[in-house]
Amino acid sequence: MRRVLVFALLLLVPIAAGAREPPKHKVLIELFTAQGDPNCLTAEDFLERLVGTEHMEFIAVVAWHVNHRDRLGWKDTFADPAFTDRQKAVLARIGTGRLTTPLLLVNGAPYAPGWEAGVREAASGPAAVAIDADVALDGADLTVRVRLSESRGDLPAGAVVRPLLVQHRASTAVTSGENCDKTVVQHFVVRRAMDPAPAADALAAPVERKTTLPDGLGPDDFSLVVLVEDQTTFATVEAATFPLTRPPPGLLLVVDSDSTRAGKIRTAIAEAAEANGFAVATVAQVPANDRALEQALKRIAKSQPFDERHVVVLGFSNAAKQAYAFAVKHRARTAGLVIAAGVLTLSAEDVAAAKGLPVFLAWGQGDATAKPEDGLALRDALAKAGAEVDWALVDAVEHFAVLPEGSGPFLRWAAKRYTAVR
Residue type for position 326: F
Question: Residue 394: its pLDDT value, please?
Answer: 57
Distance between CA 393 and CA 378 in Å, rounded? 13
Instruction: Give how far Cα 143 sits from Cα of 80, 201, 213, 343, Å.
Output: 22, 17, 11, 52
For 83-94, b/e burial (b = at least 16 CB within 10 A) is bbebbeebbeee
Provide the greatest CA pair distance for the chain: 72
Q: Which parts of the chain sit beneath pLDDT 50?
A: 1-20, 396-407, 419-422
Angle at 325 between CA 320 and CA 329, to 5 degrees: 150
pTM, full prediction: 0.64
Distance between CA 239 and CA 146 in Å, rounded? 12
Which residue, 173, 39, 180, 49, is CA-closest to 116? Answer: 49
Question: Residue 262: its pLDDT value, please?
Answer: 63
Considering the chain, tell me which residue range(s) the CATH 3.40.50.1820 domain(s) occupy.
247-416
Distance between CA 258 and CA 215 in Å, rounded? 53
Question: Residue 71: its pLDDT value, please?
Answer: 94
Q: Regarding the domain with residue range 27-243, which homologous superfamily does it belong to in the CATH classification?
A: Immunoglobulins (2.60.40.10)
Instruction: Give how far Cα 362 sits from Cα of 79, 216, 339, 349, 375, Å.
Output: 49, 46, 7, 22, 9
3-state secondary structure of 180: coil
Considering the chain, tell me which residue range(s) the CATH 2.60.40.10 domain(s) occupy.
27-243
Q: Regarding the domain with residue range 247-416, which homologous superfamily does it belong to in the CATH classification?
A: Alpha/Beta hydrolase fold, catalytic domain (3.40.50.1820)
Question: Residue 144: its pLDDT value, please?
Answer: 96
Burial zone of 226 (CB within 10 Å; 0-12 exposed, 13-18 middle, 19+ buried):
buried
Which residue, 334, 358, 341, is CA-closest to 269? Answer: 341
Question: Residue 10: its pLDDT value, please?
Answer: 36
Distance between CA 420 and CA 409 in Å, rounded? 20
Question: Residue 365: its pLDDT value, please?
Answer: 60
